[in-house]
Structures are given as structure tokens and as C-alpha cells.
Amino acid sequence: MTVLGPKTQIAGRYELVDRLDTGALGDLWRAHDVKLARPVALKLVRPELAANPTFRAGFRDEARAWAAVCDPGSALVYDFGEEPDRAGGPPVVYLVVELVEGRSLDRVLAGSGPLSPMEVMDVVAQAASTLHAAHGRALVHGNVKSSNLILRTDGVLKVTDFAIARAFGGVPLADAAVDLDSAAFRSPEQAAGGPATVASDIYSLGIVAHHCLAGELPFPAVGPVAAAVEHLTEHPRPLPSSVPESVATLVGRMLAKDPSDRPADAGDLARSAVGICRRLGRRTARPPRDLLGWEGARLVG
């Protein structure tokens, strides 16, 4: 198996620069597209997953599905491919996406502590709008968490890593490779072995919102099994008393154990969050018309 590192070229086009992160599916690299002379983010799939033809086919289908999500809040997909390993190992499978310059929410929280209620409602509005666009194409994210939401310096939020998203009713593609961090954000129905749905994406975004408001996760369990039990049976830690009632109520609805008690869909959630932002005296970083397309234009004014 070929060892990949800085200066390595993938597909004769993408030159690896430096490793940005390591996750369940593989390594994320900053790379340079020598053909178009631009920086990109390149995810290299783990060799043990790349060796599985079924996984490769499913991952390719999901990359195409992600590429079809046309929303300002989704990191753009540029390319997908696979090539033989020069040393005879598993094929090199890669996904090339927009390089988002900013910090993930978990790093923002680690560096500066909890966000204000207005900031959190802005985050919820932007993320929910992007999820709504994906759901409209019968695609759920399935792995919404603080590390997959990137906040740019201008306040615009980008949703990344739809890598284990799946069509409604589909069989989870990479459950065996879900990293331990994901367990803290998975819905009760996912913890019970069910598929990801629109409602489970909303629940996971509720965990993110709670995390941003309190500076800590709502369930303190360590390890995926304990986390699953807590999502199924326990109530989340209370939010700080300084959180306005309207914000706490919305987050509580998002974290309802019964999916039918959560907001009806991600579009409804985005509208509610925009309304709370306004009542708190803040406009969202993305104009409402950009949040929900033509529907969002009615929120302007």
C-alpha cells in the first residue's frame, strides 16, 4: 500500500498539502487543484473501506447525492474518483469538496466558550435551511454534529460531510465506521438501530444547539453504548437560566424523544429560528431569502 503524504498527487491533479482532520471514513486533506489552480479539501477513504466494492459503489452514489444539494450552506462537491494503488493495495478512493475557511463549532466552543442565544438561533436557522434543501431531495445527513458545521469569519455556516448520508429508507452505509464522537449526537431512533430520517437530523441539530448554548453536551455519557442508553431513556441536562424561554422551548422540541413531537420539518425549524433571531434583535448572517429560497423571501422585511 502506497503511503500518501504532502506533495503526493492524486489522479494527476490534486496535490496534498497538509492533513486537516482524521475521521471515521478517512483523512481530510488541504490540497491544491493544479488544473484549476485553486485550494480544495480532499477526503481520502480508509484503505479497509476502499477495498470493499459495495462500500465504494454506495459512497459514489452518496457523493452524487451530496453534489445535487444546491444550497449556499452546503460545502460544494467538486469531484469524486478512485484509482489503482501503485503498490498493489486497495484502490485510492477520494472525494474533493470546497475548502471552507473557518472553524468548526466544536473548535469555536473549545476556544471561546458558549455562544449567545442569538448566535445559536442563527446557527440553527442556517443549518436547518441547508438540511431542508437536502431533505427536499430525499437525502438525510445522518451525521449532524458540531464538528461538521463550519462557521466562517463572516458568520455564514457551512454544513459539511454528507459522507454517510443516505436516501430515505436506505440501509446505513458506514455504521461500522461511525466515529465515537457521532454517538453523542445520534437520535434515540438511530441509537435503537433505526435509519436516519428528517426527524433524526433535527434531533442531532438540537444536540448541537444545546452544546453551543451550554458549552457542554446535554448527555454526559462516555462511549457509544452509554450514549445510546441516555438518548433513549434520560432527559438532557438543563440549559443555563440565562437562555431565553423561546430558545429553550425550541431546543426542547428538537430534543423530543418521540420524533413526532419535534418540529414538522427542517424548513419549519428554520422559520422558527429566524423568528426568534428577530425577536432577540439579530438578523441572520445569511439573508432569509438565501435560507429558504423563494419561500425565504417572504421572511424578509
For the stretch 70-119, pLDDT in tens is 788 999 999 999 999 887 889 999 999 999 989 999 999 999 999 999 99
Sheet holding 149-151, edge to edge: 103-104, 149-151, 157-159
CA distance 141 to 162: 5
d(CA 140, CA 199): 9
Q: How many domains does the chain have?
A: 2
Q: Indicate whether 293 and 180 sit together in one domain.
A: yes
The answer to whether residue 144 sits within a structural domain is yes
Whether 155 is in a domain gets the answer yes
For 63, 123, 132, 183, 251, the CA distances from 264, given in Å and listed in that order, are: 27, 19, 11, 24, 14
pLDDT tens digit sequence for 2-15? 678 899 999 999 99
The whole model's pTM is what? 0.87
Mean pLDDT along residues 238-258: 97
CATH number at residue 204: 1.10.510.10
pLDDT at position 292: 59
Which has the higher per-residue pLDDT, 4 or 174? 4
Identify whether 136 is part of a domain. Answer: yes
Domain that holds residue 141: 103-297
- Domain check: are 222 and 145 in the same one? yes
DSSP, res 31: E
